[in-house]
Structure 1
């Protein structure tokens, strides 16, 4: 027997950040979050359940992956195999159109695509809500990549009610510019950085409280299509998250000198009357929330300091697609 499924999922960038788990095994977040799915960055994954192979194989960008990476994929596929009563091993082939582990949400698109492909191959045919619950258990932010546009990941009380919901299609002149400061794999993974911050930063409790308020306020701004207010909330939320890391023991920072340069350029552009706002995840790369109609003007300014190929303009992306 050989059954397969193939899917594409797009990366998302959180505007209200997810930073910290209250349950490692179920991947339950400390606070709810909100993101924008992007059209430029995505992962395509094929899952083939095959009785003729004796173990799972995982290929990423045509390269066979090591035992640790394969185990992560195998453990995730077990969620589908156990639910569907499948005993077969799997061949997983994934192509990532996102730099891996550089703070560009490659795990979000990666696990969302894997979940969607496994959903087809296993014959479970879960709806998007349940698929979001499954995807969350691979990578927290993957729960949001099930949907397009602006998406909220609800904190929930248990593993059954922590899932993503669509908020807005974001098709009202919203864009994002990704400035790739450093595409290399970061030294401290998000998982490790998050754990250290939760366990040791004295600022962390305040962060959780204020993130919930930020979420409430940004949803009001989105409902009014108040772009400036939405951007200000997102930028401040990002800075607060990075502040919690500076309080960790030992402190950690993902910023590089060029990250700070991008922030300065954004502030200058705002003074000149161009509404744009920066946000950063666990990595040195900076994302600029802007009006899509003004993105080329902003890119032009950035090219004075950065090579053009390091500046990527993207619009809102779709939810998962079956290929």
Structure 2
């Protein structure tokens, strides 16, 4: 794997201060990855819908250190972090670890004091991938600074390196730079795919999957009992791990064909199977754990009943949490919305849900 391509090779022309603001989305994996090796390399390839409304807004103020500060703390990354208007010291260790991982590729971070302001359009730690949107936003701000102080960076390279950097903070963050469909992980049938960064799905997608809808039912807005990092690590000695990795890569090949041919019925079967397989890995790890809640299962059963009764193309998927992503084509938007209001919202925390759809990646603002 060629990581040297992401090293800074040109002379840098430092500026005294700058501010960059990015809005980056969360994403929802259709074919899941669960299990990784260092440094943030997936055990299998995955593909996700980029979301539109579930996003993180992040701005970073860069203030160049004085000569005295550079001498006294030449290899220290200096930053403050404000999340939704409040300083969040408890979030800093994860961001500090991210900066440590990217330091060889972004040596300019030692030159600046950074003040990071971040806020989500959705509840933090609610089963929506906040680490994906949050860390991809920071990566995008870093690349804006690099583009300002470097020369001859193409838009393609900036996106690729932003995904590469984001991955070092959170694997799924590599899939939040672009959209509407992103593949992360080397796969023999996906041209240009890589373990190092996400790429836009490189083939023509059938029109049925354009503007695909995702309503996120907030079953549980509390902190997860088990972090995704711990969950991934439990795959190391998991008795079904190797077969799961093979299955996921086979499923990605199938998904590629489904997306190109527009076979919605096969899409439904594969997406739901992937979601349940992800949670099956949690149920069969040691220690084992359950992130689904009783209301998660109630919603799934109601979706199955509705699909059969109405001959609908509605389906569900799950991330590593209790919340349910309800996926369906745009032409069912009105009918599914009525179904959610009348039968599913009651299973949500305070009847709350988020209406979303596929989006197109990071935006500067």
TM-score, with length taken from structure 1: 0.91
Q: 1:243 to 1:39 in 2, by over 3 A?
A: same
Distance 2:328 2:221 in 1: 22
Q: Structure 1's 114 and 214: CA in aligned 2 closer, same or farther, altered over 3 A?
A: same
Task: Flag the 1:81–1:163 CA change in 2: closer, same or farther, 3 A.
Answer: closer
- Look at both structures and tell me which one has the larger radius of gyration over its CA atoms: 2
Alignment partner, residue 28 of structure 1: 41
Deviations 1:87-137 (A, max 9, x none): 222111111112222221111111111111121124355521221111100
Say yes or no: does 1:299 pair with 2:331: no
SS in structure 2 of the partner of residue 56 of structure 1:
strand
Is the contact made by 1:174 and 1:289 (CA closer than 8 Å) also made in structure 2? yes
8 Å CA contact 1:148–1:318 kept in 2: the answer is: yes
1:254 pairs with 291, 305, 312, which one?
291
Equivalence for 2:318: 280
Q: 1:40 aligns with which of 34, 53, 56?
A: 53
Question: Conserved in 2, the CA contact under 8 Å of 1:295 and 1:313?
Answer: no
Displacement after TM superposition at 1:72 (Å): 2.3
Instruction: Name the SS of the counterpart of 1:85 in structure 2.
Output: helix
Q: Distance in 2 between matches of 1:81 and 1:7?
A: 23
**Unaligned residue ranges in structure 2 (runs of 5+):** 1-15, 70-77, 189-193
Q: Which moved further from structure 2: 199-208 or 274-283?
A: 199-208
**Contact 2:225–2:291 at 8 Å: present in 1 too?**
no
Give, in whole Å, the separation in 1 of the partners of 2:237 and 2:303. 32
Counterparts in 2 of 1:1-323, with a 5 A limit?
A: 1-23=16-38, 26-51=39-64, 55-66=78-89, 68-77=90-99, 79=102, 83-86=106-109, 87-122=111-146, 123=148, 126-155=157-186, 161-167=195-201, 172-196=210-234, 198-272=235-309, 273-303=311-341, 304-307=343-346, 309-323=351-365
Whether the aligned pair in 2 keeps the contact of 1:10 and 1:320 (CA below 8 Å) is yes
The 1:82–1:33 alpha-carbon spacing in structure 2 relative to 1, beyond 3 Å, is: closer
Offset, 1:3: 2.0
**Partners in 1 of 2:26 and 2:257 — Cα distance?**
24
TM-score by length of 2: 0.81
The 1-side partners of 2:294 and 2:262 are apart by: 33
Report the alpha carbon displacement of residue 156 of structure 1 after superposing the two structures with TM: 7.2
CA positional deviation for 1:200: 4.0
What's the Cα RMSD here?
2.3
C-alpha displacement at 1:203, in angstroms? 1.9
Equivalent residues of 2:41, 2:195 under 8 A apart: no
Does structure 2 retain, via aligned residues, the 8 Å contact 1:46–1:92? yes
Per-residue CA deviation, residues 270-304 of structure 1 (Å, 9 max, x unaligned), is 20201111111111001111112213322322323
Contact 1:246 1:252 survives alignment (8 Å): yes
2:279 and 2:290 in contact (8 A); partners too: yes
CA distance, structure 2, for counterparts of residue 251 and residue 286 of structure 1? 21
Q: CA deviation at 1:162?
A: 2.2
Q: Is the partner of 2:176 in helix, strand or coil?
A: helix
Deviation at 1:52, TM superposition (A): 5.7
Question: 1:154–1:165: 8 Å Cα contact kept in structure 2?
Answer: no
Residue 173 (structure 1) shift: 4.5
Q: Contact conserved, 1:6 with 1:117, CA < 8 A, in 2?
A: yes
Q: 1:81 to 1:90 in 2, by over 3 A?
A: farther
